[in-house]
Chains A and B, each alone.
Chain A
Amino acid sequence: METSKTLMIVDDSKVARMMTKSIIHNAHPDWLIVEANDGYEAIELAKKQAIDYFSVDLNMPGIEGFEVIEKICTLSPKAKFALLTANIQQSTHDKATKMNIKCINKPITEQSISQMLEYFND
């Protein structure tokens, strides 16, 4: 039987968070989904709560996705991270691969979120 997980969506767009949350909730209704609207909030929440999976946007005000992941990695070394981004430059994918992060292209669709969930559930 699947164990319930906690997943954090880090995205400055409320609409992006709503769409991501809705698709994940349909696939895993028992998962707890936490939202952060920027990197600073994500880091603060990660200090207070154990999170299994992170879906992180790249281009956010203040602190960008790669830096957020680096900081949270030290707090939650066992967590898995996916970068969910509209920035589809090859160099972005290359950097994610080097950091051992799954990079998934927006737009947010059932297919792109399924890709992310497969990675988390692997």
Chain B
Amino acid sequence: MTNSVNLDPLEEDFLIEIFNLGIGQAAASLSMMLQQEIEISVPEVRFIKFCDVSHHINASHDICCVTQSMESDFEVQSMLLFPEENSLEIVRCLMKESFSDEMILELQQEAILEIGNIVLNACIASFSKAIQVHFKIAPPLFEKLDSQNLSHSTFDKENVVFFVKVNLHLSESLIDGNVLFILKSESMRILQQKLHAILLSL
């Protein structure tokens, strides 16, 4: 595990547990949506700087990205990334009825937004419950990216990223998904104070 963001081992452990629970809930919700069993790998959680994100994702494909910002007394940008090549299959599974290829393409963005909404909110709920903070959550936004324009995005290279890598095994395919929680340094400082207070009270 890499930690370039100054978390102590207990804080790291706490955050890993939060994301494990969130991904588990997200997989359960996805399984209900797609009406099939989904096996998930144990999520790998890394704590990195934003400038290093592109080194940790599969850069050979275009990427579908759903972002959702969350705000309380600190701000977090949550993000779901997965390869575009898997996205049409997921949309077909989701819509169930037999739509034409044109219709599936037309619905691709909306369907992925809805999936992103479910997955990110599962992680946000786990995070919110664990640190006892209510977040105001903005509607999800969809973008297609490649690794290059990801690194040129509006985020500061020094922003802290909780990077969660998970493999989802659907019946006919393996999908690499990544969930990112991105925090500016001031938000990270406030979060660390909250983590510290919770851990002290244990």
Contact = CB atoms under 8 A, between A and B. Distances in A.
B29 A107 contact: yes
Contact of B110 (A15, A86, A87): A15
A44 B38 CA distance: 41
Most interface-central of A13, A89, A91 (chain B CB within 10 A): A89
Contacts of B68: 59
Contacts of A52: none
B64 interface: no
Contact of A14 (B107, B121, B139): B107
A107 B134 contact: no
Interface string B70-96: 000000000000000000000000110
Interface residues of B, number: 30
B114 A89 contact: no
Contacts of B195: none
A15 B111 contact: yes
Interface residues of A, number: 23
Interface in B95-128: 95, 97, 107, 110-111, 113-114, 117-118, 120-122, 124-125, 128
B18 to A, nearest CB: 13
B139 A106 contact: no
Contact of B118 (A60, A89, A107): A107
20 contacts: A12-B139, A13-B110, A15-B107, A15-B111, A18-B95, A22-B97, A59-B139, A87-B124, A88-B121, A88-B122, A88-B125, A89-B128, A90-B125, A90-B128, A91-B128, A106-B117, A106-B121, A107-B30, A109-B32, A109-B35
A18 B94 CA distance: 11
**What 6 pairs between A and B have smallest CB-CB spacing?**
A86-B121, A91-B134, A107-B33, A15-B110, A88-B125, A86-B117
Nearest to B91: A15
Interface string B21-64: 00001000110110100000000000000000000000000000
Contacts of B29: 106-107
